[in-house]
A and B are shown apart, each in its own frame.
Chain A
C-alpha cells in the first residue's frame, strides 16, 4: 500500500525552487559511461527510470515501471559527514508499478525513506540506487539488475543493453523551456533485452521482454508557466526507437522547447525538434480516484521521418496516485506506418500535471 501521508509531505517538494547552490544543466556536458550511470549529487533532481513490456511463458503480457528518484535537500558543499545520521541530504523515493494486461490489473507502490541507517541511498559501488529492498545495480558496463518487492511478490529483472546509450537534446542538454537552466542532462538506453522472474508464494514465474532506461538529472528545469508534460517511448518492431516529449503550458499548448529522439536500428540517433512532430490526443480517460482526465490515446506524426502511428492502451487505469503526486504511466501499443510500410510497437506513455501542476518531478 502506498503511504499516502508521507507522500503528501514529499509532494510539497513541487513548490520548492531555490537553486542557488545547485548546479544547473548547462550546454557542453561530456557524457561518459558507465560514469554517468552513477549519481550526480551536485544537481538537485535526478532519476533512474525503467519501463518495459514483458511476456511470461504462458503468453501473458505485463508492463512494469521501476523508478528511483533523488531529490536533493542540501547541496554537497553544505554536507557534513560527521553530522547527525538523520540529516537528509537527498530525499530518496521510488515507484514500482506492474500492469497485468491480460487480467486488466494495475498495481503500484511507493517507497520513501530517510536513509539514516543505509536502508536507502545512491551509488554504493555497483549498486546505483536502493531503497528498502528495491535495488538498481549495474552489472558490467552495459547491463543492469533490478529487484523490487511488492505486497504481491518479488520481481527480479536482468537487463542487457542492445544499443549504446543515446544522449537526448542538443549540445549535452535536453531543453525543457527557454532560458538558462531550464534543461536537464538526459540519456537513454533505449532497448534492453530483458529476462527475469516474478516470485510469489514460493512459485517462480519467468518472463522476458524489452525495457527502456532513462537517466536524467537537472536543477530547476521547469518554467513557471509549464504545468506538466506528455512523454512517450516506443520500441518499433522494425528495430528503431522513438522518444517524444511535449512540455505543456498553462494554456494547453506545447512549449516550443519540446523535442524527441529517433534511434535507428544501428544505434545512430536523430534529434527531433518540436517543429518536426505532432502529438494529438484521440482518447481520454477520467480517473475515479483523483478526477484527473488523461489523454490516453494519441495520434503521432513525425513527418520528416515518414512516421505516423496511433497510441492506444489496453489498460486504461494506469494512474499512480500518491496525492498530491499523481501521474499516469502505462504500457501502450502503437500501430501505424513508416513511409507507407506498416509498423507496430510497444512502449510507455507518461502523462503528468493532469491532477494539478507538477513542477519539480518532471520528465
Chain B
C-alpha cells in the first residue's frame, strides 16, 4: 500500500509539480512569505522579551528578592537594617540611572552603581580592568570618572582604555572614563551593550542620587519562607517601596508588551490567510484540470481516501517547500523588523535595546506547524471534492470546465452569517472582553466578505457582459463571461486579493483616523509656545530633571507669561505600577474631558487632593469618575478621588494626572522633568530659546522645542510606531498580487483547449492576450470593490473595537477618501500587470497541441 502510494505520489504529484514549475514556485512563494512574516514577528517579539529578561538578569543578578525604591529612591540608610534582617543571607545595594552620550548621537548608557564589597554573590557578569587581567580596586573606588562598559559597546564605538565620554544627566555635562570591562558570565548570557557599571558611591554622585538607592537585591537563607520575610521587611522599609521577586517585574513588563505583540502577531497571520486562499486556488485548479486523471485512477481501483491523500500531499509538498523558504526568509525578515520593533517598544513602553535575534526550536516548530496546517486546511475542500468525484462523469469528455458554475445561495448566507458574528464578537470584546475577541471579529469580517465574492462576481459578470455587449467590445465581453464561467476559481482569487486589499485599507484607515484624532487632540492640549526638557529625556524618557536655576530663569524671563511644570513618576497601585504625571497648575493645560464640565473639574483638580485619569487608564483598570484610586505613597496607602477622565493617546497603559500641590504635600519631591512655557503676547520664543541656550545649554544639555517642532516630533514617533504595520501591510498586498499571477496561469492551463478553439475559430494571439488582460483587470476591479467595502468594515473593527478593547483609546473615524478612491486604480493596474506574463504565455500556445485532445 505504502509503496503503491509512493509510486502514485511520484507519478501524479511530483511529475505534475515539475511540469508546472512556475505555478509551483508561486505557491511556494506565497506560503513562504506568509510563514516568513509570521516567524519574523514571533522572533522579534521573543527577542524583545528575551532582551528585557536579560536586563533583569544583569540588574537583579542572582537576587531572590528585590526591594525597589519609590519615586524619590530608597533612603540608603535603610540598607544595614535590611542586610541584617532575619532570613536575609546576602544583600547588596544598587543605584541605577541613565546617562546620555551627546557625542555619540542617540546613545545612552544604563549605569549601574555597584557595591563590589557585597555584590559578588549576585553577579551575573564579570568586571575586569580594561586592558590587564585583574581588577584595579584602587581605580574603581578612587576615580570619580572610572566606568565599566560592555565589550560590545566598546567595539561599536571604537572605545579604548582611558577614552573620555561626555555624559549628560539632569541637564549637566559629566566626564566618564573607560576603565573597566563588563562581561557576561557564561557563553549563553546576553548583556545589553548599554549596560555600564561604576562604583556605587560615584554613581550616586554622577546621577544626583546622593543618599538614595534604586534598589536592594537580596538572597534569602530559606527561599520557602519568602512571604514571611517580605512581610517583615516591610516593617523596616518606607511604605511605598516594593518588595518582589525580580521575575515579577519581568511579568509586569511582559503584560504591558502583550497587547502590542499580539497585534503584530495578528497582522502577521493575515499574510498567511492570503496564502491560504492561493493554495486553495491552486489545488482546486489542479483538481479540475485532472478530472480525467482522477477518473482513470478511480476506475483502476484507487480509493477516495487515496485520491484525497494525493491532493493533500500535493499541497503538503508545496507547503513544505514554502515553509522551508519561509523559515529561512523569516530569520532574514526578523533582522529587518527587529530594530523597528525594539525602537517602538522603547518609545512606547520600556527602554530596551534588542540587538540579538533570540531563536528557539519551538518558534520554528510553531511557524512550520502553522504554515503546514494552513496549507492542509486550504487544500482540504478541493481535495475532498476530488475524492467525491464520480469516476464516470469525470471521464466524460468535454467536462473540463468547472461544474460548480451554478451558484449556491448558501455562500451568500454564510457570508452574511459571518458578518453578523463579527458584530456580535465586537460587542463582546468591547463590553465584557476578552479583548482578543476583536481579532475574531476582524477574521469574521474578512471571511464574511470572502463568502460574498461568488455572488458579487457572478452579478458583475452578467452586468458587465450586458454593458460590454452593447458597447460591442468582443474581447471584454468574452472576458466578463469567463469571469462567471470559472466562478469558484476566480472567486477565490478575488477573495484573496480582496482580503489583502481589505487589510491594507483597514490598516490605512485605522492609522489615518488615529493620526487625525491625535492631531485634533494635540491641537486641543498642546497650547504652550515652548517646551523645555533635559536633552537626555528625548533619548531615554523622563529620567533627568531640570535644575531649579533653569526653571527660575525661565519663570523670571520678561517674555514669559506663565509656566506649566511636568513630572512623571511610577507609583505602585495594588500589584502594579502606574504612571503618574504631576503638573503645576496655571490652568493653562487644557484637558479634553470625556464628560463633565471641564472648568469645574479643573478647579477641583487644583483645589483638593484628587486625580484625573486618562480614558485608557479608566478602561484598563475598570474605574471611572467619582470612584477613587488607592495609591501607595510615602505615607502609606492613600485614596484619591477621580475628578475626571480625559482623552489621551500618549500611552496605552494609561496615565494619572495629579496636581503639584497634591503631590508635594505627600511626596515632598519638587523635581521637574519638563516645562511648558506660555509667552506673553509680545514675547519671542526664538529670543528666549537663544538666551536660555547661551546660559544653560551651550553643549546641548537641554532640548527646547517650539510648539510646531514638538508636534513634528510627536508625529515622527507616531509614524515610527506604525512602521512595522506598514511593512506587514505591504507584504500582504504583494502576496495577493502574486496570487493574481498564479490564478491566471492556472486558468490558462485549465482552458488550454478552450483557448485553442478560440484561436482555431480565428481569434488572433493578440486578441487572446487582450481577453486575458481584460479578465485579470476585471478580477482586480471586483476585488478592489469588495476589498474597499470589507476594508472599511475592517477599519471599523480595528479602530473601534481592537484599539478600544486593547488600548482603551477612542478614535474618531476619519477616511482618507483620496487614497481610497485611488485604491481600485492601483489594484486594477497591479492585476493587469500580474496578468501580462500568463497572457504572453497563452499567446504562445501552439494550436495543434492545444486542440490535440479535441
Which positions in A face B, CB cutoff 8 Å? 3, 5-6, 8-13, 15-16, 71, 73-74, 82-88, 91, 112-114, 116-117, 119
Please name the residue on chain A nearest to B213 by beta carbon. Answer: A86
9-residue interface stretch from B131-139, B548-556, B624-632, B711-719: B131-139
Given contacts A6-B120, A113-B117, contact A12 B204 (CB under 8 A): no
Q: Does B205 contact A (CB under 8 A)?
A: yes
Contacting residues, chain B, for A5 (C-beta < 8 A):
120
Complex alpha-carbon distance, A117 and B83, angstroms: 12
Smallest CB-CB A-B distances: 8 pairs: A86-B201, A87-B201, A84-B204, A16-B138, A5-B120, A73-B142, A88-B141, A84-B201
Asked if B211 and A9 sit within 8 Å, CB to CB, the answer is no
B139 to chain A, nearest CB (A): 7
Q: A6-B116, A12-B137, A13-B137 are in contact. List 16 more A-B contacts (CB 8 A).
A: A8-B135, A9-B116, A10-B137, A11-B137, A12-B136, A15-B134, A16-B139, A73-B141, A83-B201, A84-B200, A84-B210, A86-B115, A86-B201, A87-B201, A87-B205, A114-B118
CB < 8 Å: which of B116, B136, B200 contacts A16?
B136
Complex alpha-carbon distance, A3 and B76, angstroms: 24
Asked if B210 and A83 sit within 8 Å, CB to CB, the answer is yes
Complex alpha-carbon distance, A6 and B119, angstroms: 9
Please name the residue on chain A nearest to B135 by beta carbon. Answer: A9
Asked if A86 and B204 sit within 8 Å, CB to CB, the answer is yes
Contacting residues, chain B, for A8 (C-beta < 8 A):
134-135
B405 to chain A, nearest CB (A): 82
Most chain A beta-carbon contacts within 10 A, residue among B120, B136, B138, B211: B138
Asked if B205 and A83 sit within 8 Å, CB to CB, the answer is yes
Asked if A3 and B120 sit within 8 Å, CB to CB, the answer is yes
CB < 8 Å: which of B93, B135, B200 contacts A12?
B135
Asked if B202 and A117 sit within 8 Å, CB to CB, the answer is no
Give 1 or 0 for each of B426-463: 1 = CB within 8 Å of chain A CB. 00000000000000000000000000000000000000
Please name the residue on chain A nearest to B120 by beta carbon. Answer: A5
Q: Does B514 contact A (CB under 8 A)?
A: no
Q: Does B52 contact A (CB under 8 A)?
A: no
Complex alpha-carbon distance, A73 and B144, angstroms: 11
Complex alpha-carbon distance, A331 and B201, angstroms: 40
Q: What are 7 A-B pairs at a CB distance below 8 A?
A: A8-B135, A12-B129, A12-B136, A13-B137, A88-B141, A88-B199, A114-B117
A136 to chain B, nearest CB (A): 21
Contacting residues, chain B, for A82 (C-beta < 8 A):
210
Contacting residues, chain A, for B139 (C-beta < 8 A):
16
* Interfacial residues of chain B within 89-132, with CB under 8 A of chain A in the complex: 93, 113, 115-118, 120, 129
A300 to chain B, nearest CB (A): 36
Please name the residue on chain B nearest to A118 by beta carbon. Answer: B80
Asked if A85 and B211 sit within 8 Å, CB to CB, the answer is yes
Asked if A84 and B135 sit within 8 Å, CB to CB, the answer is no
Contacting residues, chain B, for A85 (C-beta < 8 A):
76, 201, 211
Contacting residues, chain A, for B202 (C-beta < 8 A):
84, 87
Asked if B138 and A13 sit within 8 Å, CB to CB, the answer is yes
Please name the residue on chain A nearest to B83 by beta carbon. Answer: A117
Q: Does B79 contact A (CB under 8 A)?
A: yes
Complex alpha-carbon distance, A114 and B141, angstroms: 10
Contacting residues, chain B, for A114 (C-beta < 8 A):
115, 117-118
Please name the residue on chain B nearest to A44 by beta carbon. Answer: B138
* Interfacial residues of chain B within 188-237, with CB under 8 A of chain A in the complex: 199-202, 204-205, 210-211
Contacting residues, chain B, for A91 (C-beta < 8 A):
137, 141
Given contacts A74-B142, A84-B201, contact A15 B136 (CB under 8 A): yes
Asked if A88 and B120 sit within 8 Å, CB to CB, the answer is no
CB < 8 Å: which of A12, A71, A73, A86 contacts B134?
A12
Complex alpha-carbon distance, A13 and B117, angstroms: 15
Complex alpha-carbon distance, A113 and B79, angstroms: 14
Contacting residues, chain B, for A74 (C-beta < 8 A):
142
B739 to chain A, nearest CB (A): 63
Contacting residues, chain A, for B204 (C-beta < 8 A):
84, 86
Complex alpha-carbon distance, A148 and B350, angstroms: 49
Complex alpha-carbon distance, A117 and B211, angstroms: 12
Complex alpha-carbon distance, A15 and B139, angstroms: 11
Please name the residue on chain A nearest to B141 by beta carbon. Answer: A88
Please name the residue on chain B nearest to A360 by beta carbon. Answer: B138
Contacting residues, chain B, for A87 (C-beta < 8 A):
141, 199, 201-202, 205
Contacting residues, chain B, for A88 (C-beta < 8 A):
141-142, 199, 201
Asked if A86 and B80 sit within 8 Å, CB to CB, the answer is no
Please name the residue on chain B nearest to A17 by beta carbon. Answer: B138
Contacting residues, chain A, for B140 (C-beta < 8 A):
9
Complex alpha-carbon distance, A73 and B117, angstroms: 15
A297 to chain B, nearest CB (A): 34
Complex alpha-carbon distance, A193 and B141, angstroms: 40
Complex alpha-carbon distance, A325 and B433, angstroms: 65
Complex alpha-carbon distance, A11 and B133, angstroms: 13
Contacting residues, chain A, for B137 (C-beta < 8 A):
9-13, 91
Please name the residue on chain A nearest to B123 by beta carbon. Answer: A5
Complex alpha-carbon distance, A86 and B204, angstroms: 8
A240 to chain B, nearest CB (A): 40
